[in-house]
């Protein structure tokens, strides 16, 4: 990225400086496309996952001469940028429930698709709160049999598990760089071969084959490419390493305090754990961990300093208190056993304080 920042050329210019900048953009495009089994030209660089989702969720998309989609069906656990419905009018957006384990309900999907015109269905590959990996390939078969298209928000899963766009059956796929150690503010939408391009959100200079105008973020894109290359080199070994560390962490959390780990019985990303303990306020845990120098997050969105109930946990059938009490810990490439020890030590102190307080409250 530092080298790319030194480039003065605009990738759309034909002079040598421009061609040099273009080389960096196309190198990253090729690396990212290769990682997901897609053609480089199918990738549209965007300002991140939010823009990729907004670009993807457009009415009238279709495959070849096939039917055009007229409505959106999104799972209830999608990111807010999908649940906002993109460019579909309010009345043409339906949500799809999930099981108590946090997996999209495929029977319900069949039912919803039988009930109306062809739909664009949006199902994420892995949930950003629980890490639960969704049955996307099975959903794709159902969606295609009903004449619809499938959009997959792969922002959380990309770079953490192996991913092949064709095996998934995804027609559109959203990616973001910053979830895998790349820079913030860059991502991509991938449009499968044969699927019509969504109408551009930004029009102007014709960049990205007219699908997203504006001079490319060359340094950001270079960083995105580098992060993908790093993430996919040795992915299998890294998955096993993180899985072991995450399980150690969860065993410790459960032994210390009887923590409930959400979506524990289904396939999850190896780096994510979302847990709760009765009586625990997510803010208390976030602050307590922060004081110990450990950055964790409340499972639910935090707006205006107040923790809102998690729409994901609510969709899984949990009540308001539980939906407000989720604490999410994410592991990464730099996490080691010593970090898990430190985290569990901090948790023991926090959980001890919690039970003392509960004792006081009930005394
Ligand atoms: N989709 C999912 C599942 C996410 O977790 C996020 C970010 O948290 C986004 C989309 C948005 O991506 P970005 O922050 O790149 O706009």
**Given CA atoms 327, 332, 334, 337 in this order, what sign does their dihedral have?**
positive
Structure token digits, residue 155: 């922002």
Residue of 166, 126, 132, 131 whose CA lies nearest to 150: 166
CA distance 31 to 80: 28
Look up 343 and say whether it is catalytic: no
CA distance 254 to 276: 10
Pocket test for ligand 1, best of 179, 217, 224 (most atoms within 8 A of CB): 179
In angstroms, what is the span from residue 50 Cα to ligand 1's centroid? 6
Mean pLDDT by 10 residues, the chain (363 residues): 96 98 98 98 98 98 96 98 96 96 97 96 98 98 98 97 97 97 98 97 96 98 97 95 98 93 97 92 92 89 69 96 94 96 95 65 36
Position 359 scores a pLDDT of: 44
CA distance 344 to 340: 6
Position 279 scores a pLDDT of: 84
Closest residue by Cα to atom 10, ligand 1, is 49
Instruction: State if residue 49 touches ligand 1 by the CB under 6 angstroms criterion.
Output: yes
Instruction: State if residue 148 touches ligand 1 by the CB under 6 angstroms criterion.
Output: no
Position 353 scores a pLDDT of: 76
CA distance 327 to 300: 8
Instruction: State if residue 81 touches ligand 1 by the CB under 6 angstroms criterion.
Output: yes
Per the CB < 8 A criterion, the answer to whether 172 and 190 are in contact is yes
The half-sphere exposure of 280 on its side-chain side, counting CA atoms within 13 A, is: 26
Q: How far is CA 159 from CA 134, 227, 269, in A?
A: 16, 9, 10
Position 131 scores a pLDDT of: 98
In angstroms, what is the span from residue 42 Cα to ligand 1's centroid? 20
Instruction: State if residue 300 touches ligand 1 by the CB under 6 angstroms criterion.
Output: no
Instruction: State if residue 309 touches ligand 1 by the CB under 6 angstroms criterion.
Output: no
Position 305 scores a pLDDT of: 62
Task: Report helix angle 235-257 to 337-362, nearest 10.
Answer: 20
Instruction: State if residue 156 touches ligand 1 by the CB under 6 angstroms criterion.
Output: yes
Closest residue by Cα to atom 14, ligand 1, is 49
Per the CB < 8 A criterion, the answer to whether 214 and 207 are in contact is yes
Residue of 104, 97, 107 whose CA lies nearest to 127: 104
Radius of gyration of the chain (CA): 22
Position 340 scores a pLDDT of: 98
- Choice among 101, 194, 302, 352 that is catalytic: 302
In angstroms, what is the span from residue 186 Cα to ligand 1's centroid? 11
Pocket test for ligand 1, best of 102, 156, 201 (most atoms within 8 A of CB): 156
CA distance 308 to 298: 10
């Amino acid at each position: 990225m530092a080298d790319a920042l030194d480039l003065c050329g605009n990738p759309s210019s034909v002079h040598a400086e421009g061609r040099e900048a273009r080389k960096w953009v196309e190198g990253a495009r090729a690396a990212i496309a290769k990682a997901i089994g897609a053609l480089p030209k199918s990738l549209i660089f965007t300002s991140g996952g939010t823009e990729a989702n907004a670009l993807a969720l457009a009415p009238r998309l279709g495959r070849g001469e096939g039917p055009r989609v007229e409505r959106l069906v999104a799972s209830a656990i999608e990111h807010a940028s999908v649940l906002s419905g993109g460019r579909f009018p309010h009345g043409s957006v339906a949500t799809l429930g999930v099981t108590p384990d946090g997996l999209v309900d495929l029977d319900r999907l069949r039912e919803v698709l039988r009930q109306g015109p062809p739909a664009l269905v949006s199902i994420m590959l892995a949930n950003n709160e629980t890490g639960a990996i969704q049955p996307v390939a099975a959903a794709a078969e159902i969606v295609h049999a009903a004449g619809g298209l499938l959009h997959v928000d792969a922002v959380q899963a990309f770079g953490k598990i192996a991913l092949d766009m064709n095996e998934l059956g995804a027609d559109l796929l959203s990616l973001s760089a910053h979830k895998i150690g790349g820079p913030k503010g860059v991502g991509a939408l991938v449009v499968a071969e044969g699927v019509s391009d969504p109408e551009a959100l930004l029009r102007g200079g014709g960049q990205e084959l007219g699908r997203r105008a504006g001079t490319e973020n060359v340094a950001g894109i270079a960083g995105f490419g580098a992060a993908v290359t790093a993430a996919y080199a040795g992915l299998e070994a890294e998955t096993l390493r993180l899985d072991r560390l995450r399980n150690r962490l969860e065993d410790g959390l459960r032994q210390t305090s009887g923590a409930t780990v959400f979506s524990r019985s289904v396939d999850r990303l190896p780096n994510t754990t979302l847990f709760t303990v009765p009586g625990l306020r997510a803010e208390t845990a976030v602050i307590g961990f922060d004081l110990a120098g450990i950055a964790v997050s409340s499972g639910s969105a935090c707006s205006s300093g107040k923790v809102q109930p998690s729409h994901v946990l609510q969709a899984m059938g949990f009540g308001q208190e539980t939906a407000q009490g989720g604490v999410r810990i994410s592991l990464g490439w730099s996490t080691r056993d010593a970090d898990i020890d430190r985290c569990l030590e901090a948790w023991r102190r926090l959980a001890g304080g919690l039970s003392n307080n509960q004792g006081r409250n009930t005394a």
